[in-house]
Structure formats: structure tokens, C-alpha cells
Amino acid sequence: MPQHRFMSNRKMLLGEDSNALVFLFAVNMLIFVLISFLKTVYFLTDTPLELFERQIVDWFRMPSSFGAVMYKPWTFLIHFFSQYHFWQLVSSMLWLWSFGYIFQDLSGNKHIIPVYIYAGATGAIGFLTANALLPSLGNGGQPIIGAGASVVGIAVATTVLAPKYKLFPLVYGGIPIWVLTLIFLVLDFSTSMVIPSILISHIIAALVGFGYMKLLQNGTNTGDWMIRFYQWGNAMFEPAELREKKSSGVNNPSKENELNAILDKMNMVGYDNLTENEKAFLKSASQE
């Protein structure tokens, strides 16, 4: 059954409810705007750039050793949501949107944030471990900032999810997504080689993206706890009337939600592994 028949039903517009990709994009942009605004304030007051980086930027970038991270534990997570330089922002967000759009279109909103966080966090551990065990591979004790490892994880996860997915289908039948992934990884790894510990972190992030999708395809959802935690937190701030409606079952899943759920399952386990009722539902939907 042609999978693209259903994909057009999913719109990912800026500001759409439950759009995880837009959320990641917005957080990175907001932190960059905040840092840039404060940098402008420091510049107008003739404050040295070194002082600005020490007083402001160091709150967003992760130190290069486990000991230093202990004094700034929040940087372990926030550094891969933060961008300092403009071209770093442009590059990271361009690749994030390119792969993230496909990934979210195929798997829904539930998996892109777990992959982003897992890849960024394990990449950070790899970076710190490489610096600790092999100081010669480090970057001279300089902290790191940016979403590089997280984007690598999403790129690899997208390719594992849909290795036959083709871009620009009108150009010689389409370009396989693995070609775009290969180009991205070559560019990323070649620039990361300047600092081997960063290269190691990106390789680990790629393995995380690969492992996450393989486990998911085998029925193990390692990001489920993040989803449930988000739903729990979101429910705490919902109006009481809405919570009562949900608990009473007034809001039943719509046909579109049911279709999206079946498509999610099909993308993970394949069409042949759907139940007969699910196959019949897809056939009926395709004829509408």
C-alpha cells in the first residue's frame, strides 16, 4: 500500500499543537536570541567579550570535565539546546528541520524529543569521558555548546526508520535519504575531527539514534517514560473542566487520530504486521 497516500494528511505548521519539531526549533531560537540580546547589551556598555562569555555564555555551555560539570549540572542538558554563533545556529537548525520533518512525519510527535535528548546527553557523556581518559583528544579544556550531537542522532534515526525514503521524487526517481545522511555525516565528522573528543561524542550520538530506532522496531520504546512525564506535567496545567471531560470519556479519539496511530505502527513494524482490522481501516481510508 503506498505509504505517501496518507502522509499528506499530517500538517506540521509553525505553532501547530503538539508539534515536537517546532518546540525544539523554538527553544534553540529563543536561547540564541536571549544570548544575542545580552551580548548586544554588553557591547553597548563597552564590556570586554571575555567577561560576557564568562558571566553569561558559561551558564549555557558545558565544561569539558566531569568535575567542572558538577558545579554547573544544568549545563549537561541545556548546552545542546543552546547556540552561540549565528552560523552554528543556521547549520544546526537547517539539518534539524531537514531530518526532523521527515522523522516526525513518519513517526509522529512522540519520538523526536527522546532521540534529541538521548543523543545529546550520551554525546555529552562521550565527550567528558574522552577528555578524562585521553586528555590529548580534548579541546584544551574549552566548554562546548550546540545541538550537533542531537542532530546527528536524529539524522541516523530517520535513516534507520525509512531507509527507502526518497527526496525530490521528480529527479531521476528520487534521491534516497541515506545519500543526504551520508553527506551530512561526512561534513559533520570532518569538521569535528579538529577536536577528536567532539568527534567521539558525535559518533556515539549516531549509535544512539541507530539503537533507539532498532529497539523501537523490535517493540521496546525507550522514550516512553519521557512521553508519560510530559503528559503528566501537561495535565497538571490543564483546566479542571478539560480534565473532567477526559476522565469521563467525552472526548473520543477521532478517525484521523486512529489513522495516525495505525500509520505510526505501520512505519515501525511494517504493513504486513498490522491486524486485519487495521488493514481494513487503512483500505477504507485510502478510498475516501
CATH number at 42 reads 1.20.1540.10
What is the pLDDT, as a whole number, of residue 275? 73
In a domain, 125, yes or no: yes
Does 197 lie in the same domain as 83? yes
Per the CB < 8 A criterion, the answer to whether 119 and 203 are in contact is no
What is the pLDDT, as a whole number, of residue 19? 83
In a domain, 274, yes or no: yes
Structural domain containing residue 280: 252-286
pLDDT < 50 regions, the chain: 1-17, 249-252
Which residue is associated with the grid cell 529527479?
171
In a domain, 172, yes or no: yes
Per the CB < 8 A criterion, the answer to whether 274 and 262 are in contact is yes
Structurally, how many domains does the chain consist of? Answer: 2
What is the pLDDT, as a whole number, of residue 98? 92
pLDDT in tens, 209-243: 999 999 988 888 888 888 888 777 766 766 666 55
What is the pLDDT, as a whole number, of residue 169? 75
What is the pLDDT, as a whole number, of residue 141? 76
What is the pLDDT, as a whole number, of residue 238? 61
